Amino acid sequence: MKKTLITTSGLIVICLMIFLWLGNKDSMQPLEGCESNTELSVYCDFMNPEDLALTPDDKFLIIAEFGGMAPLVEMTSGKLSFFNLKEKTKINANISFGNNEWGSKDCSRSSDVPFGPHGIDVIQRDDGRFQLAMVSHHPKESIEMFELIENNGWMLEWKGCIDVDGQYYFNDVSLDTAGNFYATHMFDSDFSLIRALWNVFAKSDTGFVVKWNTDDSFENLGFTSGSFPNGIALDQKNNNLIVNYNLGDKSILFNLATEEPLGVFEYNSPDNVIIKDGYAWIANHDHTVAESLGCGEMITCPLPFSINKLSLLDFSLINSYKFESKNMGIGTVGLPHEGSLWIGSYKSDRLAEASLSISE
């Protein structure tokens, strides 16, 4: 009886969400032009700048321009780019192909095939070199490895890949200094939009964190199971791991030694997380799933979001930066740097900059 009631209630919720979506999809107007306002300065001509990282000299953003991810949007290719923080200009990434040094021995990639970037991470390795890891959805599921090299400007040299097609469906990745990584397996690759809508209500486990080791072995970390694992960040200094659960409406700080939570931050729909300046910075969506479905075919979907600053010790909230986002897409990442908060989006043709002096 209980299971029947849960199923019936869930179906009612899904029907209500679809009804609200049908009512909202024509009310949201597409953005025109590329105008900044008092809340956000915007820089256009991007394709869904979903995730961000800083170059080692702190002078450029590395941007993952997101093509798409089923079942939420059509799966297409994307690209990597740089953004000059002083000149406020975009530069397409110069990518060369080297030997497969940092991936699986049996993984290869043609230079003629475009990438499908999603989550990215940069680390300085134990050998002093700078490594970039990237989740790629195109043409198949993989983690791509690059060396970040400064040579009269930053460039990327491909250093290998890990093929996970048919095995995992990753969202984000976080490296350690030895070249191992942790990645969030969201859900099975055949996960449907209806099941996603159902899980907004049910919040059942759909995925978990996977650790890949440089001996080419995988570990499924069962203690991290949850509803749509999304953003991830390794705090290697404290041997802790932050995992965002997008449909679970919470973020958890795990101790990797004990496999126990050190803190839980409950907030609607967390997306990416960045560790910087001794804090965790988490992007959260301040809108409903029905509202996001109303974005439809819009290039840029202006819906509200927050960037929340949390303690790395107990995950307590330090500060919250809330944005109405009238001239920007849905915020998926917030990267603080020199008094600014740089914001990317999975549904936008623009990058945004906000002042860290403005908070709740």
Q: Taking 70 as the threshold, does the pLDDT of residue 39 lie above it?
A: yes
Q: How far apart are CA 208 and CA 227, in angstroms?
A: 8
Mean pLDDT score, 162-180: 97
Nearest to 208 by CA among 254, 154, 175, 177: 254
Q: What is the largest CA-CA distance in the chain?
A: 68
pLDDT at 199 over 80: no
Proportion of the chain above pLDDT 70, given as a percent: 89
Residue 189 pLDDT exceeds 80: no
Q: How far is CA 214 from CA 105, 162, 171, 175, 178, in A?
A: 10, 10, 20, 11, 8
Query: 353 - beta bridge partners?
Result: 41, 342
Look-up: residue for tokens 């953005």? 31
The predicted-structure confidence for 41-87, as pLDDT tens digits, reads as follows 999 999 999 999 999 999 999 999 999 877 666 778 999 999 999 99
Q: How many CA atoms lie within 13 A of 187 on its CB side?
A: 21
d(CA 228, CA 248): 7
Question: Which residues 6+ apart lie within 8 Å of 3 measured at CB?
Answer: none
Question: Is residue 241 predicted with pLDDT exceeding 70?
Answer: yes
pTM for the structure as a whole: 0.92
Pairing relationship of beta strands 95-97 and 154-163 according to DSSP bridges: parallel
Of 239-248, 254-263, 293-302, which gets the smallest average pLDDT? 293-302
CATH of 2-28+46-355, one of 3.10.20.600, 3.40.50.300, 2.120.10.30, 3.40.50.720: 2.120.10.30
| Burial (Cβ within 10 Å: 0-12, 13-18, ≥19) of residue 1 | exposed
Mean pLDDT of the chain: 90
Q: Which residue has the higher pLDDT, 134 or 23?
A: 134
- The predicted-structure confidence for 87-132, as pLDDT tens digits, reads as follows 999 999 999 999 999 999 999 999 999 999 999 999 999 999 999 9
pLDDT tens digit string along 298-347? Answer: 899 999 999 999 999 999 999 999 999 999 999 999 999 999 999 999 99
